[in-house]
Amino acid sequence: MVEESSGNASLRTLWVGAALTTVAAGLFPRLNAVIYEDVPIWRLDPEARVLFPVVLLLSLSVFVLLGRWAWRVNRGNNRPARVGLICGGLSIVGVVAFFLSLPIMLGGLALTLGLEGRKRAPSAGGLGQSNFAIALGCLGVVVGAAIWLLAAP
């Protein structure tokens, strides 16, 4: 019973990360429009009417598909740490490619998985991978958000 409630609390962390990341992935492009185009945050131009829901759905899909797979307990290795590290690296590549808030999405997933990997590190190893995933994830989110906020359209 205790293990089951602990698993539910742990899985809740994944969904909190998904919600925060999805909000950030949708919010920063809107803030760019508010800052540089002087439009209210709720007024979506034709392009944003299409891209805003796509970004939100894509962000949630990344967590549902990749995040839930990485979250599963895999005896002998720390899958969240490893997948978080890969997502963190891809978030940095996404900054260069800059596609639909990809750095924010993958960075948020890397950060969330890195935190879970850190919790599992005492029994499964991978503390270094977890810490690096957290660092790369934070960097991906911050730089991705900064691009949206500082880049003039």
Alpha-carbon distance 62 to 83, whole Å? 12
CB 146 within 8 A of CB 47: no
At 3, the pLDDT band (50, 70, 90 cuts) reads very low
CB 140 within 8 A of CB 103: yes
pLDDT at 98 exceeding the cut of 70: no
What pLDDT sits at residue 1?
37
Tokens of 145: 């958000």
- Say if pTM beats, i.e. exceeds, 0.95: no
At 153, the pLDDT band (50, 70, 90 cuts) reads low
At 122, the pLDDT band (50, 70, 90 cuts) reads very high
